[in-house]
Chains A and B, each alone.
Chain A
Amino acid sequence: MKPIRIEPLLAGVLNVGTCLASIVIAAGLMLSLSHQRTPFPTGAQIVSAGIGLFILLPILRVILMLIFFAKERDYKFAAAAAVVLVILFAGFAIGILAK
């Protein structure tokens, strides 16, 4: 029996995510370079959203791996993915507390 592989799924998600975030950042930059005053969202806010997408992309990658390992009943690696996920969310929490 050929084992199911997660690699093609991760490759696709990372590619699409990178393209999407880059396009959002490019759109925001062009808006701010054109010096057109838009009330909401401003160019800088769109750029921020694109940056946010880039930060969420690795988190999505870890969530996908967690689901995959859990489905494969590979509980040790599912636990490792869960630990990474908790640490990633702790990063956000530290940022909020240190504000």
Chain B
Amino acid sequence: MSTGTELWLFAVSFGASALGGMLGMASGIFIVPVLTMWGHVDIRIAIGASVVSVIACSCGSAAPFLKGRLTNVRLAILLETATTAGALSGVLLAGTIPASYLFFIFGMILLLSAQQMLAKRRDPALAPIQSPTGRLTTWRVDSSYPDRTLGRDIAYRVERLPLGMVLMYVAGLISALLGIGSGVLKVPAMDTALRLPIKVSSATSNFMICVTAAASAGAYFVRGDIVAPVAGPVALGSVVGAILGARLLMSISNERVRLLFVVVLVALAVQMLVAAFGRGLFRGIA
């Protein structure tokens, strides 16, 4: 591994995380496409490197949300039983799935992220409070969070927990397969199934990501899929980039960044899908 390669890996991860951080989104979704498409790194090594950077970013950014009482730690540990179980299934599946399928699934997830970036999230806290439809659970996960703009605590109730658990299992599985944090799947699960306030679902999803990723990272690490000269610069670049990105968040027009983000996501998605078909996905069917 030459000096140039390590610096390139660091710079790319730094850039991806700074961009992600500006929108409050993890960089994991960029790392694998960029490493495989532009750096010609093997997809399994790219996934191993990405999963470490996902842990690093999630751990490194959790503190402000915890201190601001936005993270629901009880709900997080409960949902983590599902996300980590999903991650273990993903690890077991990963060995049997050909690389072309991984490229294909990744392309689809990128498109889903682009679509989500375009659609604005509605904050349920501002919507009229609906009467709870689901049965009350025996799990004490309902809580409240301090809203700075309203200047008071807002109580919220967690709805449809079983559906949330199923969606979290799927999110964990995809997370392990692709080496991403899969906030792209967790956040809609929390918004639509559990009906959490937007700030609570972002903070709690971010908090859960490191434990979900650790379930697959442990297996990949002892198996030797995490290659230090690749994963090291990527992890370091993402932590530094994420911190800087979060600072820049305040000073740059959010709409312009959002559009740039969507363009990059779609471009990477097309490249990943082309690579999937180029590697013989569905050959014999077409």
**Chain A residues close to B by CB (< 8 Å):** 6-8, 10-12, 14-15, 17-18, 21-22, 25-26, 28-29, 32-33, 35, 44-45, 47-48, 50-52, 54-55, 57-59, 61-62, 65, 69, 74, 76-77, 80-81, 83-84, 87-92, 94-96, 98-99
Kindly list chain B residues whose C-beta atoms are within 8 Å of the C-beta of A45: 228
- A51 near B231 (CB under 8 angstroms)? yes
List 14 extra interface pairs beyond A7-B66, A91-B91, CB under 8 A: A14-B210, A17-B59, A18-B239, A21-B235, A32-B6, A35-B3, A50-B232, A51-B228, A55-B55, A55-B214, A57-B214, A62-B211, A87-B81, A88-B84
B88 at the interface (CB under 8 A from A): yes
22 contacts between A and B (CB under 8 A): A7-B66, A11-B63, A11-B66, A12-B63, A18-B60, A48-B228, A51-B226, A51-B232, A54-B55, A55-B55, A58-B58, A59-B214, A61-B211, A62-B77, A80-B78, A84-B84, A87-B87, A87-B88, A88-B211, A91-B84, A92-B219, A99-B224
Minimum CB–CB distance from A5 to chain B (whole Å) comes to 8
Q: Which of A57, A76, A80, A95 has the most CB of B within 10 A?
A: A95
A58 contacts B214, C-beta separation under 8 Å:
yes
Question: Are A25 and B232 touching (Cβ within 8 A)?
Answer: yes
Contacts of B220 on A, CB cut-off 8 Å? 95
CA distance A52 to B231 in the complex (A): 11
Cα–Cα, bound, A26→B223 (Å): 23
Complex contact A22–B239 (CB within 8 A) = yes
Within 8 A of A (CB), among B202-225: 210-211, 213-224
B219 touches A58 (CB 8 A): no
A98 to B96, CA, bound (A): 12
Interfacial chain A residues near B226, Cβ < 8 Å: 51
Cα–Cα distance between A28 and B232 once the two chains are bound (Å): 9
Complex: A90 Cα to B62 Cα, angstroms: 25
Chain A residues touching B, majority SS = helix
Interface residues of chain B: helix, strand, loop or mixed (majority): helix
Is the C-beta of B100 less than 8 angstroms from some C-beta in chain A? no
* CB-based contact A11/B221 at 8 Å: no
Instruction: Report if B67 contacts A (CB, 8 A).
Output: yes
B211–A84 contact, CB under 8 A? yes
- 1/0 contact string of B223-262 vs chain A (CB within 8 Å): 1101011011101100110000000000000000000000
B139 at the interface (CB under 8 A from A): yes
Contact between chains at A29 and B81 (CB < 8 Å): no
In the complex formed, the residue of A with least CB distance to B236 is A25
Contact status of A54 and B77, CB under 8 A, knowing A44-B228, A88-B214: no
Q: What are the residues of chain A within 8 A of B235 when measuring CB–CB?
A: 21-22, 25, 50-51, 54
In the complex, residue of chain B having the shortest beta-carbon distance to the beta carbon of A52: B221
Q: Closest A residue to B225 by CB, please name it.
A: A95
A95 touches B232 (CB 8 A): no
Closest 8 CB pairs of A and B: A95-B219, A95-B222, A47-B232, A11-B63, A91-B218, A58-B214, A11-B66, A18-B60
Contact A15 B63, CB 8 Å, known A59-B214, A94-B91: yes
Give the docked Cα–Cα distance between A87 and B139 (Å): 21
Q: Which residue of chain A has its CB nearest to the CB of B139?
A: A76
B139 contacts across to A, CB distance below 8 A:
76
Q: Is B52 on the interface with A (CB-CB < 8 A)?
A: yes
Which residues of B sit under 8 angstroms from A25, Cβ to Cβ? Answer: 232, 235-236
Residues A77 and B219 in contact, CB atoms below 8 Å apart: no
Are A99 and B218 in contact, with the CB atoms below 8 A? no
Query: Is B62 a contact partner of A11 (Cβ separation < 8 A)?
Result: yes
